[in-house]
Amino acid sequence: MKKRVFAWLTLALALVMAVGSVTFLGACVHEDGSFGTCHWASRALLGIGILLAAQSGIALATGHAGAYLCMAFTAALGLLLPGTLIRLCGMATMHCRAVMQPAMTLLNAGILILALAGFLLETRRAKRGTP
């Protein structure tokens, strides 16, 4: 477990992201029951969360540096999703802007840093020839 600590951490964050994007960290349904673009941003983040969890699983199982690198790129995409690639509500007090965006930014930034750290560690291990 100690050897794959970065993969465990990214797995935990990815699961929080996936579950959170459709529950407490997701976008709200509008008063009239319609969905805004923020709803689809939260759905896209669910996908990113699941993808990151799968990549973490691969990193856990194989310890391959490439899995960490994929994770870093996916997290970077996750960072850009809410607000940049998919527009959110125009009022800063809305749940998507006040909760979803900052929480997802923090989660993706965390995964990005951990994935890069994991990538460096695994690359160094591979160079040394240690499993």
Partner 1 sequence: MKSLPVKNLIRKPGRTAALMLLTAFLALAVFGGSLVVLSLRQGLNSLEARLGADIIVVPSEAQSKVSFQNMFLQGTTGAFYMDAENLKRVREIEGVEKAAPQIFLASLKADCCSVKIQVIGFDPQADFTVQPWIAQSYARELGEMDVVVGCKVEAGVGEILRIYDQRCKVVGRLAATGTGLDTAVYCNLDTIRLLLQAAEEKGVSHKVTSDSAADQVSAIYVKVKVGYDVGRVNTAIQGHTRKASAVRTRSMITDVSDSLAGISRTVTGLIGAVWVLAFLILLIAFAMIIRERRREFAVLRLAGMSRRMLSGLILRETALCSLLGGVLGVCAAALLAFPFATLIETALGLPYLTPDLRTVALLAAAAVAAAGIVGSLASAGAAWRLSRVDPGTILREGA
Indicate the residue among 62 and 84 with the shorter CB distance to partner 1.
84
Q: How far is the CB of 95 from partner 1 (least distance, A)?
A: 9
Q: Are 6 and 121 in contact (CB under 8 A)?
A: yes
Q: Does 24 bind partner 1 (CB under 8 A)?
A: no
Find the binder of partner 1 among 23, 91, 128, 131 (CB under 8 A). Answer: 91
Indicate the residue among 74 and 101 with the shorter CB distance to partner 1.
101
- Residue 82 pairs with which residues in a beta bridge? 86
Find the binder of partner 1 among 15, 50, 54, 99 (CB under 8 A). Answer: 99
Q: Does 80 bind partner 1 (CB under 8 A)?
A: no
The token pair at 22 is: 């459709």
Among residue numbers 33 through 52, which ones bind partner 1 (CB under 8 A)?
34, 36, 38
Q: Does 4 bind partner 1 (CB under 8 A)?
A: no
- Nearest-CA neighbor of 17 among 41, 34, 33? 41
Radius of gyration of the chain (CA): 16
Cα distances from 100 to residues 22, 58, 82, 83, 84, in angstroms, run 10, 27, 8, 10, 13
Read off the DSSP letter of residue 27: P
Q: Does 89 bind partner 1 (CB under 8 A)?
A: yes
Residues that bind partner 1 (CB under 8 A): 30-32, 34, 36, 38, 88-94, 97-99, 102-103, 105-106
